[in-house]
Amino acid sequence: MSRVATEANDLEDIEIGLLLEGLYRAYGFDFREYSRASIKRRILEMMRAEKLGTVSALQERVLHDATCLERFLLGLSVHATAMFRDPSFYLTFRRKVVPLLKTYPTVQIWVAGCSTGEEVYSLAILLQEERLYKRCRIYATDISRAVLRKARDGIFPLAAMREYTNNYHQAGGANEFSDYYTAQYDSVIFSTALKSNVVFSEHNLATDGSFNEFQVILCRNVMIYFNKDLQARVHNLLYDSLSMFGVFGLGNKESLKFTPRAAFYEHLNDKDKLFRKVM
Amino acid sequence: MSFEIIVVGASTGGLKALQVLLSELPVEFSLPMVIVQHRGKDMETGLCEFLARSSRLPVREPEDKETLLPGQAYLAPRDYHLMIQSGSFALSTESPVGFARPSIDVLFESAANEYQDRAIGLILTGANHDGARGLAAIKAQGGLTVVEDPATATCREMPDAAINLTKVDWILPLSEMAAGLHKLTNSTKRYES
């Protein structure tokens, strides 16, 4: 029995390789160097959602049905995150990064892999409170048009607000968090003023190049989906896009240690994953 | 065939159970042990330090792409799923599975996929059904399955759910778990089932 299961598993891995190759050759979306464990889970989940029995059947549908492709990309790019996730990261940003940014006449910020926008709104709120927002421009990018649409809409579930409010206060926020949104039924919509200096745009970290020079780049919990080779490529891309002494932020469990650029940054503090480009 | 990893899932009552297990495993226990313990996402850190105090093996929360090492216990960080890929950890912020992140099923399924019959899965106390599907995946790939005896577990739902779904290889009370695992991983020979 176990040999049969192992063979079925091997076959599935082959099919996944073919699906990813097909997506790349047909549309240029390159998931071939994504971390297999996670992408396999999502592909199997999608098979269940589409009520298909094999990865090959999913491949057929993704290649021939544009709406299925859209669902596939959405499925791969939605991450369940929160506003002010890891409050101490934002607290450190407020205390250590904001004073640095105040020395610049204009500040270019890139939120790479912004997904549904929680981080973008968190950052906009923080910058507004620190009277920096007006001179900032935030580029929020993702590979999926569908998640960018959601990010641009700025509509989030009301049920999440208690957690976000908590995070906001722990992150040093001193206002009423509810001042930033309007609630309607079971959703809230965030103030449009928060996105007045935000540009939402498609960008694929796996295949696209640099498009500007930034003083701040946040790429949190995005590269965890990539394998080591792709991580190395993206670390180089982000490094090249960051100005000297620019600030780079990663997720709490991400590390520069295993990357080619480790020696080119210094830690802003011991605890949070905020770095400064020094070489 | 020898084992290369042990994955452990625990929920309600797990702190106590893990404390017992980790304090009784001998220093020479050489398999990397990867643990998912359910916890609230606003529960601050400190769990790892708490477990490390009673453990003879070093315990740490892994970072993304960190290589698994023998003789080391790893605790899944809060609010991430933890998976294993090519001998390293892979984290994810995909949606919670069965309200859990980290999810036991997610860890176990990735271990089954990566290690096939070289994985051991262990389900401890808990008041939900997480881990049952993951343990079944380990069994299907020929790995070894162990469950804490529901009769003596703090919460029997999770062990019961695992036993209902899979014909598990070993059902052991917590008091015999460490010695049992040590013996299993020390014997060089395994019997094909």
The rounded distance, in Å, linking the Cα atoms of A114 and B153 is 43
B165: left (phi over 0), alpha (psi -120 to 50) or beta: alpha
| Nearest neighbour of B141 by CB, restricted to A2, A37, A163 | A2
- Domain ranges for chain A, please list them: 2-77, 87-277
Tokens of A259: 């990357």
Alpha-carbon distance of B102 to A119, in angstroms, equals 21
Count interface pairs A-B at CB distance under 8 A. Answer: 89
pLDDT tier at A118, thresholds 50, 70, 90: very high
Q: What is the pLDDT of chain B when averaged over all its residues?
A: 93
Name the average pLDDT for chain A. Answer: 94
Domain boundaries, chain B: 5-186
Strands A187-190 and A181-184: antiparallel
Structure confidence at residue B187 (pLDDT): 65
Q: Could you tell me how far CA B136 lies from the centroid of its own chain?
A: 14
Please check whether residue B62 touches A, CB under 8 A. yes
Does the pLDDT value for residue B189 go beyond 50? no
Task: Identify residues of A whose CB sits under 8 angstroms from chain B CBs.
Answer: 1-3, 5-6, 9, 35-38, 40-42, 78-81, 85, 163, 166, 221, 223-225, 227-228, 231, 251-255, 257-258
Residue A42 near residue B94 (C-beta atoms within 8 A): yes
Of B65, B85, B95, the CB nearest to A258: B65
Fold of B5-186: Rossmann fold (3.40.50)
CA distance readout (Å), A271 to A86, A102, A253: 11, 23, 11
Q: Using DSSP, state whether B137 is helix, strand or coil.
A: helix
ipTM: 0.90
pLDDT-based confidence at residue B192 (cuts at 50, 70, 90): very low
Question: In the annotation, is B2 catalytic?
Answer: no
Inter-chain CB proximity A9 and B96 less than 8 Å: no
Locus of tokens 């859990």? B100
d(CA B39, CA B12): 9
pLDDT of residue A7: 81
pLDDT at A2 over 80: no
**Quick one: pLDDT at residue B44?**
60
- Place A214 in a pLDDT band, splitting at 50, 70 and 90: very high
Q: Does B105 touch chain A (CB under 8 A)?
A: no
Mean pLDDT of A209-235: 95
Task: Please tell me the number of Cα atoms within 13 Å of B27 on its side-chain side.
Answer: 1
Q: Which two tokens stand for residue B149?
A: 């005896």
- CB spacing of A35 vs B85 below 8 angstroms: yes
CATH code linked to domain A87-277:
3.40.50.150
DSSP bridge partners of B120: B6, B144
Mean local confidence (pLDDT), B51-80: 95
Show the beta-strand stretches assigned E in A61-123: 107-112
**Omega cis (within 30) before A260:** no
Is B129 a residue of the active site?
no
